[in-house]
Structure formats: C-alpha cells, structure tokens
Structure 1
Amino acid sequence: MHLDWTALGRVTGVSIGATVAVVVVFALGVLGLARAETAHERDGGGQGLAVAQAGACFLACAAVVAYGIYLIVPQFH
C-alpha cells in the first residue's frame, strides 16, 4: 500500500486552515453582537453596523457549513 504523504499533508493543511478561518469568522460575529448589545445599553442606538457585521459573519459560517454538507451528501450532486 502506497500513501501519497504530500497529498495527505495538503489536505491536513487546508482542513486546519479552513477550520481556523471559520472559528475566527464566528468569533467576529459574536464580537459584533457583543458590541451591538454594549451600544444598546450605553445610548440605545448606533448598533446597526455591529449587527450587520454579526449577520454577515454568521451568514458566511452558514454558507461554509452548507457547502460542506453539499460536498458530503451524494444526492445533492
């Protein structure tokens, strides 16, 4: 049995990179929600940009999850 160690290393690197990227984007979404809540408590306004940031980050995470499910489930192809 022959293993292509270079290909295995590439897959591992891409997997780790994608995982870190999704976690960072999700954390930015949580940060946006925290900033929106802080702005709401402080002066009751100015939270639109933070909510938009959070929404965009969570939408990006949902898109990555949906794409992963698309790749895994053969009936979607």
Structure 2
Amino acid sequence: MSIDWAALGQVFGVSVGVTVGLVGLFTLGIVWLSRTEETPDQVAVSGGSAALARTGAYTCFALCAAAVAYGIWIIVN
C-alpha cells in the first residue's frame, strides 16, 4: 500500500484554506451585524451605514450557507 503524499497535501491545504475562509467570512458577517446596533444619534452621523452593514452581514451569512449546502451536495452525490 502506498500513499500519494502530494494528493494528501493538496487535500489538507484546500481543507484548511476553505475552513479559514468560511470562518473569516462568518466572522465578518458577525462584525457587520454588530454595527447595525447603533443608537439613533449614531445612525444620523454615520449616514445610513447601518443598512449597508446589515446587507453585507446577510450576504456573508448567505455565502456561508451556500458553501455548506454545496459541501452537503458534494457528499450526497
């Protein structure tokens, strides 16, 4: 029995990269979602950036959900 170390290294590298990317994307969504909890005075000063932050957060969460759904689809098929 022989192990293809190059292929194993590629799988490991891609797995670590995708994991770090998804965790980073989810963290970015949490950070942006925390910016939507501004007081009315802060919203007036920021010029409506809370709505933009909320949209960005929901986009990050949707991309994470799509990645998880794609992973499940790959496993099933």
Above 0.5 in TM-score? Answer: yes
Question: Aligned equivalents of 1:8 and 1:50: distance in 2?
Answer: 39
Aligned to 1:2: 2
Which runs of no fewer than 5 residues in structure 1 stay unpaired? none
| Secondary structure of 1:29's aligned partner | helix
What is the aligned counterpart of 1:61 among 56, 60, 64?
64
> Does the alignment pair 1:49 with 2:47?
no
Normalising by structure 1, report the TM-score.
0.87
Question: Aligned equivalents of 2:60 and 2:75: distance in 1?
Answer: 23
Normalising by structure 2, report the TM-score.
0.87
Work out the number of aligned pairs and report it: 72
Aligned to 1:28: 28
| Secondary structure of 1:36's aligned partner | coil
Question: Aligned equivalents of 1:42 and 1:23: distance in 2?
Answer: 31
Question: Aligned equivalents of 1:30 and 1:51: distance in 2?
Answer: 10
Question: Aligned equivalents of 1:33 and 1:62: distance in 2?
Answer: 16
* Alpha-carbon offset, residue 42 of structure 1: 4.6
